[in-house]
Structure 1
Amino acid sequence: MLFYQFARSVVASVLKPLYRIKVSGLEHFPKEGGVLLCTNHIDNFDPPVVGITSPRMVHFMAKEELFKVPVLGNTVRNLGAFPVKRGMSDREALRSGLKILKDGGVLGLFPEGTRSKNGELGKGLAGAGFFALRSQAHVVPCAIIGPYKPLQPLRVVYGEPLNLTKLKEQKASAEMVTAVIMESISDLLIKNGRQPLPLDKS
């Protein structure tokens, strides 16, 4: 935890002035309990930006190749990340994510699974819905509004936790729940001046 706080302060001292990061909606972020934090993905810097703006430590999934790199692997692990194979179908990674939520931690996800090539919001993968349905965690949508250009404002907006009670009672599929999560991220983008392309509902 001490290493995380140190790294967070160092990264924040660089990225916050460089991108003039503005944060809103922190009052919506649960102070305790498991949190599934779902964010759009527009740049490689998204994980550290979420990490330095979130009021709580965020655990991210990271591609397993990173953990095989000397020094970098241990550093990423010490920052709270855990490995996942491509496609988010790695059972061990799913178990690790569920444990983080059960233990009251914050699991950060980019439901799209990969960076958007055009900056617009894409279709989310079922992994986000899986975690939402299999846990009692608060589900918090988050929108990162670029561009990532030096000295141009970058906004991070945290939304209110989603009420998924009815969907759970109706035994909705993971895909359906992910679609709801993506709609909430889309709403944040629209309300804050960013017009995303219509979500792919196929």
Structure 2
Amino acid sequence: MSLYTVAKNLCAAIFYPRYRIKVEGKENVPKGGPVLICSNHISNYDPIVVGITCPRDIYFMAKEELFSNKIIGGLLRKIHAFPVKRGMGDRQALRRGLDVLKENHALGLFPEGTRSKTGEVGKGLAGAGFFATRSDAHVVPCAIIGTYKGKEPLRVVYGKPINISELKERKASAQEVSDAIMDEIRILKDNKE
């Protein structure tokens, strides 16, 4: 059993009862091939919640600062995380993300790049559009609905893969594709609240 599976099972045993997590749309995540999971971002716990609710193992980009400690950095790498320098075009992280998709894995992104202070879905950065247009990945929107403090269950909803073929055909910018992805996340969230 891999460390990823052990960590996923352990976190699931803690997080599901603690936040009464309800999951919808798992069947929308393709079982094979490259997948780009794009979620809104409301808490530091989001990568864990997306990781335990998604039926696929997910590779996440994580801020470079988390890898400065050798023990934590080593552990993060073993559970499929890799570093990204925030606030600049990190070519190495972009290449690594494309490699993850070329290897038919699932890449998890929070396109907003930072947590929403209001809980509203914000504007996405161009990175999600970059990966969507430069790969053959299915793009699956994900909405985390609720709070980690409320009495209501935390809901995680996976939408149907987004058809971006028209955007690719007309060579839409990475930002335009990211905007389209964020619109789908927003629709998922608004329809389920």
TM range (shorter): over 0.9
- How do residues 51-62 of structure 1 correspond to structure 2 at under 5 angstroms? 51-62=51-62
Residue of structure 2 equivalent to 1:109: 109
Does 1:32 find its partner at 2:20?
no
Cα distance between partner residues in 2 of 1:112 and 1:87: 12
**Aligned residue type for 1:103:** E
Count of paired positions:
193
Q: Which residue of the partner structure matches residue 197 of structure 1?
A: none
Aligned structure 1 segments of 4 or more residues deviating by more than 6 angstroms: none
Q: SS where residue 71 of structure 1 aligns?
A: helix
Counterpart Cα distance in 2 of 1:65 and 1:26: 32
CA shift, 1:151, in A, is 5.3
Counterparts of 2:95 and 2:141 in 1: how far apart (Å)? 22
**What is the identity, as a one-letter code, of the residue corresponding to 1:77?**
R
The reply on whether 1:99 has 2:99 as its aligned counterpart is yes
Deviations 1:149-179 (A, max 9, x none): 2653000000000111111110100011011
User: 1:20, 1:151 within 8 Å by CA — same for their partners in 2?
Assistant: no
Which amino acid letter does the alignment assign opposite residue 110 of structure 1? F
Q: Structure 2, unaligned stretches of length 5 or more?
A: none
**Alpha-carbon contact 1:17-1:151 (below 8 Å) kept:** no
SS of alignment partner, residue 140 of structure 1: strand
Q: Percent identity?
A: 61
Q: Which residue of 2 aligns with 1:198?
A: none
Task: Give 1:87 deviation, angstroms.
Answer: 2.1
Instruction: Report the TM-score when normalising by structure 1.
Output: 0.93
Change (3 A) 1:12 1:40: same
Deviations 1:32-84 (A, max 9, x none): 00001000000000000000000010011011111111311111110100000
Query: In structure 2, how many angstroms separate the alpha carbons of the residues matched to 1:119 and 1:150?
Result: 13
Counterpart in the other structure of 2:124: 124
Counterpart Cα distance in 1 of 2:151 and 2:13: 14
**Counterpart residue number, 2:63:** 63
The 1-side partners of 2:96 and 2:163 are apart by 24
Letter in 1 for 2:27: E
After superposition, the CA RMSD in angstroms is: 1.1
- Which blocks of at least 5 consecutive residues in structure 1 are unaligned? 194-202
Secondary structure of the residue that 1:108 maps to in structure 2?
Answer: strand
**Counterpart amino acid of 2:158?**
Y
Q: Cα distance 1:34–1:88, how it changes in 2: closer, same or farther (>3 A)?
A: farther
Alignment correspondent of 1:86: 86
8 Å CA contact 1:18–1:150 kept in 2: the answer is no
Say if 1:3 and 1:78, in contact at 8 Å, map to a contact too: yes
1:147 maps onto 2:144 in alignment: no
SS in structure 2 at match of 1:163: coil
Residue 16 of structure 2: aligned partner: 16
TM-score relative to the length of structure 2: 0.97
Q: Name the counterpart of 2:44.
A: 44
**SS of match in other structure, 2:70:** coil
